Amino acid sequence: MLELFTYGFIIRGLEAGIIVGIIAPLIGIFLVLRRYSLIADTLSHVSLAGIAIGLLLRINPLITAMITTLSASLFIERLRATKKVYGESALSIFLSGSLAVAIILLGIAHGFSVDLFSYLFGSIVTVKQTDVLWIAFVSFIVGGVILAFYKELLYITFDEETAQVTGIPTTFMNTIFVLLAAITVTVAIPIVGILLISALMVIPVVAALQFKMSFKQTIVIAEVLSLVSVVFGIISSFYLNIPSGGAIVCIALLLFIGSLWWNRGVK
C-alpha cells in the first residue's frame, strides 16, 4: 500500500484534501446549526456557472467560479436581510437560475468535456501544486477569520436577535459568513467536485451532532470524521479508479450511518 505515496498526484491530492477536510466542517457546523445547509448546495451550483464562464472564456475556471460564488453570496445575503425574498426562496432561485445559465454556457462552449467532469465530481489527478498552494492560502484566511470572529459567529448562530440587541453587527457578520461559505465551496471543487462539496460540509457535522457533545467537542469530532472521509476516500479512489469526490462522500455517509447506530445504541 505504501507504493501509493510514490505518486506525486496522490501526495498533492492528499495535501489539498486534508486542508479542505479541515476547513469544510468549520463552515459546515454554522450552516447546519443555522438551518442554512442549502446555501452550500446553492453556491456549488452557482460555481458551476462560474466554471462554465471560465471554460467559455478560456481562463482559469476556479477564478471565475470564485468571483461568481462571492458575488452570488453577497446578493443572496442582501435579499435575505432586506426580507424582499425569503431565505429559502432566494436560495432556490439562485440554485435553479445558475444551473440554467451553466447549461446554456456549456452548450455554447460545445457541451461537456473531460475537464468539466473533473470539476463536477472531483479528481485528484488534476490537482496541481499551484492548486495546493492556492487552497492552503485561501483556507488559512478562512480559518483565521473564523477564529477572529468565533464568538460573534457563535452568538448569531444560536440567537441572532439577541446578538443584534447586544451590539454585535449581525449584518456585517452574516455577510462575512456567506463569503466564507462561498470561498470554502470554491476551494473544495478540485477535490470533492461541485456536485458533492455541500455533502462534505454537512454530513460530518450532522454525524458529529449525533454524539451530543459540547460545541467545541462537536467541531473536533466533525473534523476527525471529515479527515477520515477525505483520506480514505482518496485512497479508495486510487485503487478502485473512481472519482475522489464520490468516494469521499460515500465514506462520510458510512460514518454518518455509524453515528446513528452509536446514538441508537446509547439510548
CATH of the domain at 103: 1.10.3470.10
Q: Does residue 206 lie in a domain region? A: no
**How many structural domains are present in the chain?**
1
Are 38 and 91 contacting, i.e. CB atoms less than 8 angstroms apart?
Answer: yes
Sign of CA dihedral 76, 172, 37, 45: positive
In a domain, 107, yes or no: yes
45 in any annotated domain: yes
Cα separation, 148 vs 14, whole angstroms: 27
By the 8 A CB rule, do 202 and 40 touch? yes
Q: Provide the residue-wise pLDDT of the chain in tens; the chain has 267 residues.
A: 567 777 788 888 899 899 999 999 999 999 999 888 788 888 888 998 888 888 888 888 888 999 999 999 888 888 877 766 666 777 788 888 888 888 888 777 665 555 677 788 787 777 888 888 888 998 999 999 999 999 999 988 888 888 888 888 988 998 999 999 999 998 888 888 887 888 889 999 999 999 989 999 999 999 999 999 999 999 998 888 888 888 999 999 999 999 998 877 655
Give the integer Cα–Cα distance in Å for 59 and 128. Answer: 16
Is 207 contained in some domain? no
How do residues 180-226 score in pLDDT, each as one tens digit? Answer: 999 999 888 888 888 788 888 999 999 999 998 999 999 999 999 99
Question: Within a 10 A sphere around the Cβ of 112, how many other Cβ atoms?
Answer: 12
User: By C-alpha distance, which of 26, 58, 49 is closest to 189?
Assistant: 49
Angle, vertex CA 125, rays to CA 120 and CA 131, nearest 5: 80
* Centroid of chain to Cα 196: 8
Task: For residue 170, tell me if it sits in a domain.
Answer: yes
Q: Report which residue type is found at 261.
A: W
Is-contact 49 105, C-beta < 8 A? Answer: yes
Residue 238 lies in a domain: no
Residue 169 sits in which domain range?
Answer: 2-198
Cell of 100: 440554467
Alpha-carbon distance of 133 to 19, in angstroms, equals 10
Q: Is residue 173 part of a domain?
A: yes
41 in any annotated domain: yes
Question: pTM of this prediction?
Answer: 0.87
Task: Return phi, psi of residue 109, to 5°.
Answer: -85, 15
Q: Cα–Cα–Cα angle for 167, 173, 178, nearest 5°?
A: 160
3-state secondary structure of 110: coil
The full length of the chain comes to: 267
Q: Do 55 and 116 contact (CB within 8 A), yes or no? A: yes
